[in-house]
Amino acid sequence: MTPTFQPGQATVYNSVQDIAQLTRALRKTARPVVLVPTMGALHAGHISLVKAAQRIPGAVVIVSIFVNPLQFAEGEDLDAYPRTLEADVEKLRAAGADAVFAPSPREMYPNGPRTVIHPGQVGTILEGKTRPTHFAGVLTVVNKLFHITNCSHAIFGEKDYQQLIVIQQMVTDLNLDVQVIGAPIVRENDGLALSSRNTYLSETERELALTLSAALTSGAYMAGQGPDAVVAAARAVIDSVPEIELDYLELAGPQLGDVDPEGANRLLVAARVGATRLIDNIGIDFGSEEVTGEPRA
């Protein structure tokens, strides 16, 4: 039996047919359907995306919770990834989300993962260099979610900055009628970017993880000295903590191409703290004295 839709009560739908039927009906009322895609294990960063969605006038907010196997390579943490659906739904109900789409892998891929979307060149750098199949998995599931939920808007956090860029690229290149909105990174008071993977960190590892936001801050404060000084300052902080296993530290333009020495850019980092791989980033504008996306409370 299809659940009765109750606005603001985070009604849970498990089938593609049911959520599609609901959202088609909602779109016919001319209300925007705003999708917040997640893999669950929700924290304050996810709830901030729900709040951003609710600021769109008349929005019906749909939160998807799906640990997408297609974006995990062999040896990654698919099986260990936290699954806390009941607690997640309670948080979404408290936040006033309208509906939750929580399908099974079989529901999403009834014929297996046969057709995938290639992310192009931007999907081969940074995260894509370390995880070469990752963004094809991301784009495939996001494209499916866009169509299944009939959404007019979708909200993504800037912490996964490269993901945001490849999704925006997909929407443009495939002429999808969805407005993609990036929302700012949410941090703990000490600067640590919120992530579901933070739960893997021991107390000691969590202290070490602060090195990433400290490095980004140090780099950002050197913006007045130019790109080389930004990267050097950030790298010096990371190099001072031998327990941090750096994957990459890169300065790139806003679309992850060449650095703009007179405009907006992004400084991105990925590293392992113990067995946990974390990512973070900060906006840096060489045309302004202001630090963008500063990792502080």
- The binding site for ATP comprises 39-46, 157-160, 186, 194-197
Nearest to 255 by CA among 97, 121, 147: 121
Are 163 and 190 in contact, with CB atoms under 8 Å apart?
no
What SS3 state is found at 268?
strand
Residue 124 CB partners (closer than 8 Å, separation 6+): 132
* Cα(5)–Cα(88) distance, integer angstroms: 18
Three-point CA angle 77, 78, 82, nearest 5°: 85
Residue 149 CA to chain centroid, in angstroms? 18
Q: Look at the chain and count its residues.
A: 297
Contacts of 26 (CB under 8 A, 6+ apart): 33, 60, 150
**Per the annotation, where are the binding residues for (R)-pantoate?**
71, 163
Q: Which of 129, 131, 113 is nearest to 121 (CA)?
A: 129
* Binding-site annotation: residue ranges for beta-alanine: 71
**Catalytic: which of 46, 118, 147, 153?**
46
Contact in structure between 149 and 19 (CB atoms under 8 Å): yes
Q: Which residues are annotated as a binding site?
A: 39-46, 71, 157-160, 163, 186, 194-197
How far, CA to CA in Å, does 85 sit from each of 7, 88, 104, 195, 242? 19, 5, 12, 16, 37
Task: Establish whether 118 is a catalytic residue.
Answer: no
Which of the residues are catalytic?
A: 46
